[in-house]
Every structure is written in C-alpha cells, then in structure tokens.
Structure 1
Amino acid sequence: MQDIRKARLLRTLAATAMIGAGSVATSGLVLMPNVAAAETFTNTVDLVKKVMPAVVTIEIKKKADDQEMAQMGLPEGFPYEFFSRRFGMPMPGDQNGQGQGQGQQAQRPEITGLGTGFIIEKNGYIVTNAHVVDGADTVKVTFSDGSTADAKVIGADKATDIALIKVDTKKDLTTVGFGDSDKAEVGEPVVAIGNPFGLGTSVSTGIVSALGRDLQSGPFDNYIQTDAAINKGNSGGPLFDDNGEVIGMNTAILSPTGGSVGIGFSVPSDTIKSVVADLQDDGSVKRGFLGVAIQPVSDDIAAALGLDKPEGVLVADVSDDTPAKKAGLKRGDIVVAVDGKPMKTPRDLTRAIGSDNPGSTVQLSLLRANKPLTVSVKLEERPTDKSAG
C-alpha cells in the first residue's frame, strides 16, 4: 500500500511540474516535498564537514529599482519627489514621516538581498552570482562561525552571471578548489550548499541531471542541470562533486511556482575559473570577437550546399571592418572547427571565440563550396552588445 501511495505522489508531482513548467527563476517559495533530492551518499557527512567553512552567506543592501518598486505596488517612474513636495506625504525612505517638503530629495526604499558565496583564496576572494550583488550599495559576508565582514565587489560579468568579491582579513580563510566540470557525467552525485530563504546554511543532495543546458539567458549558456534542491538564497552557492570540489555555482531554477521542483541549474566550474581570472586581473572580462552572423546548418541548407550531412555552423553574414572580414571569411562559409575543436552549434562557436582573448589568433576550419579550407583570424575585443560570434 505504501508503494502504491508513493507511486501516486510521484505521478502527481511530475504532472504538476509539466503543467506549469516554462519559467526560469532565481527565487520563490513552494511548500512541496522534494522527492528528487532524497538520495543520500555515504561520504556526504565528511564532505560537508570539509567544505562548509568555505561557504558564506552574502547580504546586500541597495535602493529599490523600478521593477522592485512595481513589486511593492508603485508604478514604474512614480514621481516620488513631486508627491512629497506637493502633498507633504511621507514617501518610501522618508524615515521621519515628515515628507520631503524642506528641499530634501525623496529616497527610494532600501531593500536587502540574500545569497551565497564560496571562498576560493585564503586572503579573502569569494565567488558568487552577479545578480546577487547587482546594484549593491553595501555587501556583508557572514562566515560559517557566525563572524561577519564587509566586502567590496571586485568585478561582475552579467553575461555568465559570475561576480568576484573580497573581504579584508588578517587570518587565512578556509577555501575550496575547483573540479573539472568538463569531466562531469550525468548521474554522478552532487552536493549543493546555500542559504535558502535566509534560514541559514543548508545542504541538499542530488545528481547531475543533464549537461550543456541552454536557458536562452545569454550567449554563453552551458549550465549543469541538477535535481539537488535550489531555492531563493542559494544563488551563488557551490555545487560539489563527491571529491568535495566545486564543479558548478548554483544560479537558477525552472519551476511553475518559483520554488524547487528538482530542476536547478549551475554555471560550470570551467567557466567560473576563466571569468574569475579576468575579474581578478582588472575587474572586467574581455572576450574575443569574430564579427559574423551565424546560424545552424539544417538538413535543407546541407542539401542546398551539396553537403553529405548537416555539420558545422553557417556564416550567414560577415560584418564590415571586423576580424572575419579582414581574414577573408565569406557568407555561406561553414565553420566546422576552431583550433581543431569541432563546432556543432552556433553556441559552440560563440563560446569558443568568446573564451579566447582579444589579440589572439585562432585557426578556423571551414567548408567553402564543399571544399575544406583553413583560415587564421586575429580576434578583436567583443563589443558588449553582441550576441553572435
């Protein structure tokens, strides 16, 4: 009888997720059992004892933006100062309740945000999500022993949702190391640590559910999907493999309600390592730029171009005065490899070019009129508004 009830519960949860799925969120509360995260591992206790001191809670304070004001019931562009002066009414942020009739500027309310981070260097460097510290006026870090320290944002990369912050410390901090996310396999056990809903540091377990997920949130999407419970406050927290190494950073969930239903997404550690290295250098990330519009090679396109099978990435257009134009790339070329690495999708090409530094030279393996060709291209710096290679 218990087995029958359990089977019915699983079917009900699966149906609920399928009916409401389709929104990506980084927050939300839903009171439903997390069946997917019920699996336990024999080394979880020892693993958590080892890595827990390197996981921190991040609290930020900032002025509410228009979107956040709308969530409070005030429309975008609300004329705070006018209403304050005209009617003498107290406005958000007017702590004295006197209005702003004395020439003081009306203030937006201060809001508090919570997230998670993990220490990667003993001198105080901490990794978290860019959306956790976005717009922060102040950043406070709480360590596992309850002590706190103010932090400053060294840099943030919104394209990959990665940020680097730092605290000043007189003692060596406990750190965690990065694993190789390229070696992660579907089905392997993982442990997520974070601060869900501000309850305090919490641990959840699961497996790698899928690799290379594209959430259409940016050109460099390459998420690890996991069924370990991830909720509001977990953002920026580490995803550990069974060796206690960070293979991802918990970033988003797919949910019909905004709470965990066992579909979470983590930025791979290989992406984090390269971005953090750039942020630590000068606070920004510089990416290579080719200067082409690209699209997949469909069956119809392959047939029209006389290809035996669909492969590579089609160059749909070449922009003027770009590295691609200078190197002689043409519309209709098919990029099959970059420095010997096969390119199967447009996202592969965008990520391959973006991961190289401006000024570096790459070798593009092409098919032009169904004939192989190799072209050397010296990359330039990627403009911030470009989503293609």
Structure 2
Amino acid sequence: MQSTTKAAGLVALFLAASCTAPPAQPTAPPPTPPAVPAPAPAGSLADVPAVSAELLPSVVKVLTSGGNGSGVVYTADGLILTNEHVVRGASTVQLGFADGRRYPGTVQAVDVITDLALVQTDRRDLPVARFRTELPVVGELAIAIGSPLGFENSVTAGVISGLHREIPGTAAETQALVDLIQTDAPISPGNSGGALVNARGEVIGISEAYIPPQAGAVSIGFAIPAATAVDVAEQLLTTGRARHAFAGLEPTQITPQIAAQLNLPGTDGVIVAAIVAGGPAANAGLQPGDLILAVDAEPTRRPEDFLGTLRRRNPGDTINITVRGPGGQERTTQLTLTDRPAFSQ
C-alpha cells in the first residue's frame, strides 16, 4: 500500500486520507517518556548503524484504508505517536512492527493544529523512544526512520539544516507547517509520523513534510520539534485536546494585486482578512483590512510568520502587534491571546 501525496503551496504533505478522525476519549495517562537534557554530539555517518539498530524497534508502520505512514512508540503499553494527517478519517488502523508482527490500533486523540495524533494498540512491553525536548544544533547528524512509500524499517541520514522554519504558501491549507526543523535527511511520502533522530538515538522530531523535486528542491524535509510533539501528546493524554494560542483573526498573504489596490510598496506583510467577533483581535481594535507589519517588533512578512509566532506563545500571553490601517496610519497595540476554540481550525 502506498501513501498518497498532496501539494500545499511548495510542499508535499504525506497525506493518507482526506478528513479528520474524531478524537476518542483518552484513557488514563500511562508513564511518559523521559526528556533528555544533556547536550547532543554532532555525530557522523559512522553513528548511523548503531542508532538505527536501537531505534528501529521503536518505529512502526501505520496503515489505513487510504495509505500508510509511520509512528513512534511513545509508551511501553502501546501508545503510538504519529501525524494527524496519517490517520485522518480513520478510527482504527493497522500497526506494523519491526519484528514483522501486526496489531490493530485505535485512534485515541488528534490535534489538527500541530498535525499530531495518538494511536493505542494492545501490544505491550514495547521499546519506548527517548525524546530530546531541546532543539538540535544546525549541522548535527539527523537520521530519518520510517516507512517511505511502504518500505518498512527504512533509514536515511543527513544533517539539521535549519530551525524555526515556516513553509511559504501553506497557511491557507494548514496551520501545521510552522516552527519546524529542516533537514536534508531524505524524507518521502510514508515517512510522515516517523522519527527524526540524533547521534545519541534520541528523537528530535516527528517527520512531517518535504518540498518535492519538481519545485526545484533537493532534500529539503521538515519535522515537528520533539518539544512540540511531547507537549501536545501529554495534553492529548490528559484532556483529549491540546491548547493553542488564538488571536481571533484570519491572516492572508498580500498578492501583487492587493498591493496595487492598496498602494502598498510591496507584498511584505499580512492582511487581516477576517476578525472573530468578540475575539482577541476584535478586543484589541483590529479590523478587516488592517496590515500586520510586526509582532513584538519582529517583522511579519507572510501568514506563516504570524502563525509561527503564535505557535511559540501560550494562551494568556500578550503580544505587541504593529498594524497599518486602511488609511495608512501605523499603530502598535497589545493583543492578549486566548485558548483556541474547539470550532476553530
């Protein structure tokens, strides 16, 4: 069975289905994997065989009626962490383990905003992956483990190419492709939900997306940082949902046509396309048509920049947002973020 691929702007996501599975009620939280605070070495290709041997039993193949992806063993009693888009539309899946055995799995909870999901299986005494919640260093070894195009137990290697990446042109389709780790370890459809690992065998990210060769890219892949994955997984375990900072506005890219219509000097900035009545942006005095120039003095050139800023904030945080009104007046106002409502994607 082969995973399907969907383009989102420049990036192809490893989508296995087309709609979101409804979250089930979570079971009592099992013991959670340890965070690893010690510094990680840069590593080299000589480390790949030993790391692969250690981690392969902790990475599974996730099969649905629409295709396949990958997952990472999160707890010894059968909880698997994967991408939401891998299990989208499914309530049950099949899990293929490195020893060749297969077990059914039940989708426990999902988070569309970060594209993460938890799947429970009855298999016990599984080898739990170790997650490193500190960000990796650019240039250190990165090993991707998963089931690309259905090839189970596949390993590729490269380096960490960048941090805090937002993928241009994707905000209209998904809010997941922000604040990502970039790697040149080859990632293909079916790697989604698998492990990105450092030279110590610690999971530093969950494989998420790649920019395809037809866009002119060579080995540009992305992963959700382990800190985000662990934080969301723990919230899903505890409450069945994850909390996210919510600004109450819809950010839209400035096109050349919009720039000409509004007499703007260029296409840098984010247009406020809509405001949620009674939400944080409305309470801060923002209006549709306002141009967001910066958040906390950091330039906001694209919607993905704005979403990346929100990803690094928490409900209750206050941000300073600089906007230019339709009349050309610039102002900076404070906006207090709230928890994202359940209806908002």
Q: By percentage of residues, which structure has more helix?
A: 1
Residue 202 of structure 1 is matched in structure 2 by 154
Of 186, 203, 208 in structure 2, the residue corresponding to residue 246 of structure 1 is 203
Residue 117 of structure 2 is matched in structure 1 by 163
Pairs within 5 Å for 1:43-62? 43-60=47-64, 62=65
Q: Report the 3-state secondary structure (helix = DSSP H, G, I; strand = E; otherwise coil) of the residue aligned with 2:232.
A: helix
Give CA-to-partner distance per residue, 1:271-297, whole Å, 9 cap, x none.
323332332233333433222354679
Residue 42 of structure 1 is matched in structure 2 by 46
Q: Report the 3-state secondary structure (helix = DSSP H, G, I; strand = E; otherwise coil) of the residue aligned with 1:53.
A: helix
Larger Rg: 1
Residue 18 of structure 2 is matched in structure 1 by none
* Alignment gaps of 5+ in structure 1: 1-20, 28-38, 63-110, 305-309
- For 1:127 and 1:326, the matched residues in 2 are separated by 37
Contact 1:193-1:238 within 8 A present in 2 as well:
yes
Superposition RMSD on alpha carbons, in Å? 4.1
The amino acid across from 2:222 in the alignment is: F
Q: By percentage of residues, which structure has more strand?
A: 2
Give CA-to-partner distance per residue, 1:160-209, whole Å, 9 cap, x none.
3221112234435332213433x441x33211111233333121111233
Contact 2:197-2:203 within 8 A present in 1 as well:
yes
Does 1:138 pair with 2:138?
no
Deviation at 1:127, TM superposition (A): 1.1
The amino acid across from 1:362 in the alignment is: T
Assess, with a 3 A threshold, how the Cα gap between structure 1 residues 343 and 145 changes in structure 2: closer, same or farther.
same
Of 221, 235, 241 in structure 1, the residue corresponding to residue 177 of structure 2 is 221
Deviation at 1:155, TM superposition (A): 1.4
Does 1:364 pair with 2:320?
yes
Assess, with a 3 A threshold, how the Cα gap between structure 1 residues 160 and 367 changes in structure 2: closer, same or farther.
closer
Give CA-to-partner distance per residue, 1:225-277, whole Å, 9 cap, x none.
3322223332211111223222222233333579x963333233233233323
Q: Report the 3-state secondary structure (helix = DSSP H, G, I; strand = E; otherwise coil) of the residue aligned with 2:196.
A: strand
- For 1:254 and 1:115, the matched residues in 2 are separated by 17
Pairs within 5 Å for 1:60-209? 60=64, 62=65, 113-171=67-125, 173-181=127-135, 183-185=136-138, 187-209=139-161
- For 1:343 and 1:123, the matched residues in 2 are separated by 45
Q: TM-score, normalised by structure 2?
A: 0.68
The amino acid across from 1:219 in the alignment is: Q
Assess, with a 3 A threshold, how the Cα gap between structure 1 residues 140 and 336 changes in structure 2: closer, same or farther.
same
Deviation at 1:361, TM superposition (A): 4.3
- For 2:321 and 2:91, the matched residues in 1 are separated by 47
The amino acid across from 2:127 in the alignment is: L
Give CA-to-partner distance per residue, 1:336-380, whole Å, 9 cap, x none.
445xx845444333343356555x242435478666x56352525
Q: Report the 3-state secondary structure (helix = DSSP H, G, I; strand = E; otherwise coil) of the residue aligned with 1:120.
A: strand
- For 2:299 and 2:198, the matched residues in 1 are separated by 28
Q: Identity over the aligned pairs, expressed in percent?
A: 29
Residue 270 of structure 1 is matched in structure 2 by 227
Assess, with a 3 A threshold, how the Cα gap between structure 1 residues 312 and 263 changes in structure 2: closer, same or farther.
closer
Q: Report the 3-state secondary structure (helix = DSSP H, G, I; strand = E; otherwise coil) of the residue aligned with 1:190.
A: strand
The amino acid across from 1:214 in the alignment is: I
Q: Report the 3-state secondary structure (helix = DSSP H, G, I; strand = E; otherwise coil) of the residue aligned with 2:131.
A: coil
Assess, with a 3 A threshold, how the Cα gap between structure 1 residues 384 and 180 changes in structure 2: closer, same or farther.
farther
Contact 2:91-2:107 within 8 A present in 1 as well:
no
* Alignment gaps of 5+ in structure 2: 1-8, 16-42
